[in-house]
Amino acid sequence: MSAILTRNSAQVLLLAVYPRNFWYIAAMSDEIGSTPFARKICDQRIVFYRKPDGQPVALQDYCPHRGLPLSKGKCEGRSIRCGYHGMLVNEYGECESMPQQPNVGRLAGIHCYPCKDNCGYIWVWVGDESGVDESSLPNMPWKNSNSISTSNSNPQWTFAGGVFHLNCDYRLLVDNLMDLSHETYVHPESIGQTEIDEAKPDVAFDGDNVIVERWMNNITPPPFWAGLYGSNEAVDRWQICRFYPPSNVHIDVGVAKAGSGAQSGNRSLGISGMVVGFITPESATSCWYFWGMARDFDVDDEALTERIYDGQKKIFYQDVGILEAQQENILQNPDRRLANLDIDSGGNHSRRIIEKLCSSE
């Protein structure tokens, strides 16, 4: 899939590469109801709604009659009625009926996408349906059901998160999450500190997963972690970023009392969490970022959950500004190539995996 953009009479070819044979998050579960909900996923316009039994439906957002987006219509039972001339399209994308027009069932229907409600999100499969595998839905031990909630099926975890729309190539966001050296400069008042620059990360591979691991030992915790830890005493801090296809990054983060053995696996004198990042491409220059943090300490403290949510939202919103400015500058300078340094290794390897998967499809 590609898109042609024209800038200053020069044509820029943007290769919008998306691995398609995977589940992507389309929306938060509570975003989808009995009203048509439009979203573009991997350059495909899709309309979502729920049937009376609560099961989600995902259809091509296109009326077979005159092409109006079905999301401009309304739901009727298990079907959706176009808001232009009243064609009724059922949950399978078939033309069911239309006022004063017999035999519309002979018209070509529209595509129906595999769609699942799982762990608080609506997932959609945009690729080859012969490869659909429900068991390949990502495993999330916290099993959240709401965007901000301490009500989980696993009482040992709690989770808070949300969603951002970004006007940037989704791979720029992958780069951002796989190289946390930017924290020193983008988030100095919360999670950034100079020790990040001084600690060289290790890069490893596990099949199509990329792992970037960084440890900062015997340091003063930055403000965000000092607040959670409840002390400014010396700690060992870790950041373990894991990319896995199609475009997801989860980051194991935390601090523990300096020298208490956290790097060897003993985190009993510390606190840790999982920064959750599910990235869904929208177009060559836009994406959806479903973010959050799961933790396994003080899980019943709702005020703490809200505080972490507010802090993370502010931090991630700072990244939005950086990434959108980066994308705009890249488009305005089509003859320049991005420079690759040692710190870019995790993101670069993740990009190669994405390219490999796209080539194989």
Query: Can you give the residue ranges of every domain in the chain?
Result: 33-114, 155-360
- Which ranges of the chain does DSSP label H, i.e. alpha helix? 170-178, 183-186, 194-198, 223-229, 302-332, 345-360
Distance separating alpha carbons of residues 210 and 208, to the nearest angstrom:
7
Distance separating alpha carbons of residues 35 and 117, to the nearest angstrom:
16
- Please, are residues 58 and 47 in contact by the beta-carbon 8 Å criterion? yes
Pairing, β 270-283 against β 56-60: unpaired
- Please, are residues 174 and 279 in contact by the beta-carbon 8 Å criterion? yes
Torsion of CA 329, 333, 337, 339, to 10 degrees: -40
What pLDDT sits at residue 12? 38
Maximum CA extent, the chain: 78
Distance separating alpha carbons of residues 222 and 193, to the nearest angstrom:
6
DSSP string, 309-353: HHHHHHHHHHHHHHHHHHHHHHHH-TT------GGGHHHHHHHHH
Beta pairing partners, 4 = 13
Q: How many residues would you count in the chain?
A: 361
DSSP string, 212-268: EEEEEEEEPPPHHHHHHHT--S-EEEEEEEEEETTTEEEEEEEEEETTSSGGGT--T
- Please, are residues 161 and 144 in contact by the beta-carbon 8 Å criterion? yes
Torsion of CA 318, 312, 137, 354, to 10 degrees: 30
Beta carbons within 10 angstroms of residue 86's beta carbon: 15
Q: Which amino acid is at 297?
A: F
What pLDDT sits at residue 354? 96
- Please, are residues 208 and 225 in contact by the beta-carbon 8 Å criterion? no
As a whole number of Å, the end-to-end CA separation of the chain is 12
Tens digits of per-residue pLDDT, 102-151? 888 888 999 999 999 998 999 999 999 998 988 888 877 765 433 333 33
Q: What CATH class has 155-360?
A: alpha beta
- Please, are residues 239 and 213 in contact by the beta-carbon 8 Å criterion? yes
Which superfamily does CATH assign the domain made up of 33-114 to? Rieske [2Fe-2S] iron-sulphur domain (2.102.10.10)
- For the packed helices 345-360 and 170-178, what is the interaxial angle rounded to 10 degrees? 140
Beta pairing partners, 215 = 238
Segments of the chain with pLDDT less than 50: 1-14, 144-153
What pLDDT sits at residue 1? 41
Distance separating alpha carbons of residues 33 and 238, to the nearest angstrom:
40
Distance separating alpha carbons of residues 22 and 24, to the nearest angstrom:
6
